[in-house]
A and B are shown apart, each in its own frame.
Chain A
Amino acid sequence: MSFASFILRRLAFLVVTLLVVSVLIFSLTQVLPGDVATMILGIMATPEDLATLRQQMGLGRPAVVQYWDWLSSFLAGDLGISTRFKRPVASLLADRLVNSAKLASAGLLLAIPGGLALGVIAGLRHGRTVDHVLSGFTLFAAAMPEFVTGAILIVVLSTWLGWFPPFSAIEPGMGLIDQVHRLALPAVSLNLVILAYMLRMMRASVIEVMGSAYVHAAVLKGLPRRMVIFRHVLPTALGPTLNVIALCIGWMAGGLVIVESMFGYPGLGRLLVFAIQNRDVPLIQAISLVVAGIFAFANLFADLLHRFLDPRTRDA
């Protein structure tokens, strides 16, 4: 199978998955207890007003028609009006998405190279002290839920030592240094797990590749060690680890919800929790679908990259 047809097949699969996921999201949220019209107008609304609004919003129509309307306007960029904020969902999402992306990338920039580098070090020093220390570290770091890491970080670095602010709300006019200072604790709590996973994966695959016949051959034909590692070991060892990056981005979607709530950070995750608490259906639907989309694309990207880097899967 050529690379192009592989991409096409994966894209088709992605579209189908997202369609099914959108049905899932729609049916889970549309049957929420509580009536959307009542939520918009409040409990003091007269029955006539409610009936008019329901008519306007088309709430009485069959579910399939409602779903089609929702999906087609979603694809056209109209994400509906938030019942709680009384504002278009799209503009709400845009701001929060930027904030979440900032938090996520701040951490990923640290976690991915850090995890890879440490993983390579541990893998190449397999069985020695460095390896044991790093492996011990991953055991703790990978196991801790984000809000536990966050809570401990806040107590130690903020309450006890006073180095960082305990809340991380960032405002539009803030300078870069201030923003980094505020982002530091949430970014670390969000990415500690990811760093640990990257390290673990990279270590395991470096060890595996180092033991393979073609690396032995490369060593035996007298290539310098540096050449063996950079030219033969790392590209292959990166493959499985890159798949983990995609998983991590999915994991991050959950992590963001937790970390943003923990640090009071104005991102997508906190908006989702707010929307759920207020049963703001259009907002819940939009955020869920956006997150599912990002997740799906991350998976696709990882697959493509994996195929691109590992010659065995490319030519097969």
Chain B
Amino acid sequence: MPDQGTAAVLAGGPPSRFTRAYGGVIGWLRSRTLATRAALAILLVYVLLGLLGSLLVPYSPTAFDMMVPLNAPSWQHFFGTDGFGRDVFSRVVAGTSTILILSVSATVWAVGVGVSIGLASGYRGGRPDEFVMRGMDVLMALPTLLLALLILTWLGSSKPNLIFAIGVVFVPKSARVARSAVLSLRKLGYIEAAKLRGDHAGRILLFEVLPNVRDVVGVEFCVRFAYSLLLISSLGFLGLGVQPPEPDWGQMISEGRNYITLAWWIVMFPALAIGILVVAVNLLADGLWQDRTRLQSARIL
């Protein structure tokens, strides 16, 4: 059921001055479910922390202070200190920008390449398509984490390699999603029309196909982003992700693991930071998907 916001947008009711100025964003936001809006708010907080984190932290996230090892959370150290006396709060906040930048870059390249391959392959069809998709199947024949581990063992761990590895792991999945989206469009009238008009394939893909699969790509981006977050922090946890001394949530959890019976806070706060972020991204992906089906049915009606 479309709520009032959606209904107004769909009905194209008379816009006030305010909605004319901000209608796009506000209308979009109002037509979202509460869960989607909450997810966006949480993500906004993370982005702000990522951008302004270095101004907010009370201590250096990497400086050892052997006078205060394993201090419990207090007003001096909100989240306590770790085995080297580093401030856990500062490290959690400083880790925000690292993981956001890494996951966004990895997702952009994985979804960008994957969607391009999927669209081109699905649009072309026939033998080449078959060949490309079998290649993608082989890449998917290894479990995600295993493939990422092997690539990073081969290349060595650094940020560019991390982004590259995650891209390789996720490209086939994005390609599959994009391919199945384009298959349903291929025989439609406007594509045929563009072909008859003499447009070349690249132009059709860019101006006819891509705009019509943008919902799918948007949801795919969110889903991949959530998986990238998981994979990057998991690799950090296994010691093949972000390398010390730079703070990373996964790596903090594996370091804190040794102190877990003495100092729960070293593990708990980065764990919550990852957990809340991943749940928010999943909520957003879910919400976008539901809105898509809902708006589609509204359009048909």
Is A32 engaged at the interface, CB distance under 8 Å to the other chain?
yes
Q: Which of chain B's residues have a CB closer than 8 A to the CB of A25?
A: 142, 150
Given A29, A154, A160, which contacts B153 in the complex, CB threshold below 8 Å?
A29
Of B145, B149, B151, B272, which is in contact with the most chain A CB atoms at under 10 Å from its CB? B145
Is A148 within 8 A of B274, CB to CB?
yes
Binds B, one of A93-101, A115-123, A209-217, A270-278: A270-278
- Is B143 a contact of A159 with CB atoms below 8 Å? no
When distances are taken between beta carbons in the complex, the residues of chain B under 8 Å from A251 are 143-144
In the bound complex, do residue A21 and residue B142 qualify as a contact, i.e. CB atoms below 8 Å apart? yes
- Take A155-B264, A166-B260, A291-B146 as given contacts and tell me if A147 and B138 are in contact as well, using a CB distance cutoff of 8 Å: no
With A145-B234, A148-B274 known as contacts, the answer to whether A262 contacts B145 (CB < 8 A) is no
Contacts of B154 in A (CB 8 A): 28-29, 31-32
Q: Which chain B residue has the least Cβ–Cβ distance from A249?
A: B143
User: Which chain A residue lies CB-closest to B274?
Assistant: A148
Q: Could you tell me if B234 and A296 are in contact, using CB atoms closer than 8 angstroms?
A: no
Give Cα distance in the complex from A296 to B197, angstroms: 46
Residue among A29, A147, A291 with the highest chain B CB neighbour number at 10 A: A147
Counting CB contacts under 8 A, is A257 at the interface? yes
* Complex interface: stretch among A38-46, A136-144, A169-177, A234-242: A136-144
Given contacts A24-B138, A139-B282, A295-B143, are A166 and B261 in contact (CB under 8 A)? yes
The reply to whether B149 and A277 contact each other, CB–CB distance below 8 Å, is: no
Residue A71 interfacial (CB < 8 Å): no
B283 at the interface (CB under 8 A from A): yes
Q: Given A33-B156, A151-B253, A151-B268, answer yes or no on A21-B141 (Cβ-Cβ < 8 Å).
A: yes
Does the CB pair A277–B267 fall under 8 Å? no
Judged by a CB distance under 8 angstroms, whether A106 is at the interface is no
In this complex, how many residues of chain A approach chain B with their Cβ under 8 Å: the count is 47
Expressed in whole angstroms, the minimum distance between the Cβ of A85 and any Cβ of chain B is 18
Q: How far is the CA of A24 from the CA of B154 in the complex (A)?
A: 12
CB distance from B79 to the nearest CB of A (A): 13
Q: If A151-B268, A284-B153, A291-B146 touch, does A258 touch B237 (CB 8 Å cutoff)?
A: yes
Find the A residue at minimum CB distance from B237. A147
B209 at the interface (CB under 8 A from A): no
Q: Which residue of A lies closest to B149 (CB)?
A: A276
Chain A interface, DSSP helix/strand/loop, else mixed: helix
- Is B92 in contact with chain A by the CB < 8 A criterion? no
Q: B240 in the interface, Cβ–Cβ < 8 Å?
A: yes
Shortest Cβ distance from B89 into chain A, in angstroms?
A: 17
A20 within 8 A of partner (CB) = yes
Residue B230 is within 8 A (CB to CB) of chain A in the complex: yes
Q: Is the CB of A276 within 8 A of B153?
A: yes
Instruction: Enumerate chain A residues within 8 angstroms of B101, measured Cβ to Cβ.
Output: none
For this complex, into which size category does the number of interface residues on chain B fall?
35 or more
Q: Shortest Cβ distance from A16 into chain B, in angstroms? A: 9
Asked if B230 and A145 sit within 8 Å, CB to CB, the answer is yes
List the A residue with the shortest CB-CB distance to B153: A276
With A33-B156, A296-B141 known as contacts, the answer to whether A159 contacts B240 (CB < 8 A) is no
B142, B149, B260, B272: residue with the most chain A Cβ atoms closer than 10 Å: B142
- The interface residues of chain B lying within 8 Å CB-to-CB of A291 are 142-143, 146
Q: Is B271 an interface residue (CB 8 A)?
A: yes
CA distance A291 to B145 in the complex (A): 11
Residue A81 lies at the interface, judged by CB distance under 8 Å to chain B: no
What string of 1s and 0s marks CB contacts (under 8 Å) between B118-143 and chain A?
00000000000000000001100111
B275 on interface, CB distance cutoff 8 Å: yes
Q: Check if A254 sits within 8 Å of B150, measured CB to CB.
A: no
A158 interfacial contact with B, CB 8 Å: yes
- Say how far B102's CB is from chain A's closest CB, in angstroms: 15
- Contact of A145 with B278 at beta-carbon distance under 8 Å, contacts A29-B153, A261-B254, A277-B239 already known: yes
User: Measured between alpha carbons, how far is A296 from B240 in the docked complex, in Å?
Assistant: 26
Q: List 29 A-B contacts (CB under 8 A).
A: A20-B138, A21-B138, A21-B142, A24-B138, A25-B142, A32-B154, A33-B156, A139-B286, A143-B279, A143-B281, A145-B230, A147-B234, A147-B237, A147-B253, A148-B253, A151-B260, A151-B268, A151-B271, A159-B264, A166-B260, A166-B261, A251-B143, A253-B143, A257-B145, A276-B153, A277-B239, A288-B146, A288-B150, A292-B142
Q: 4 new A-B pairs (CB below 8 Å) besides A20-B141, A151-B271, A277-B239?
A: A20-B138, A147-B233, A160-B264, A261-B254
- 8 A-B pairs with the lowest CB-CB distances in the bound complex, closest first: A254-B145, A253-B143, A151-B271, A143-B282, A155-B264, A148-B271, A151-B267, A143-B279
Q: Give the B-binding residues of A (Cβ under 8 A).
A: 17-18, 20-21, 24-25, 28-29, 31-33, 139-140, 142-148, 151-152, 154-155, 158-160, 166, 250-251, 253-254, 257-258, 261-262, 272-273, 276-277, 279, 284, 288, 291-292, 295-296
- Residues of chain B touching chain A, judged by Cβ–Cβ distance below 8 Å, are 137-138, 141-146, 149-151, 153-154, 156, 226, 230, 233-234, 237-240, 250, 253-254, 257, 260-261, 264, 267-268, 271-272, 274-275, 278-279, 281-283, 286
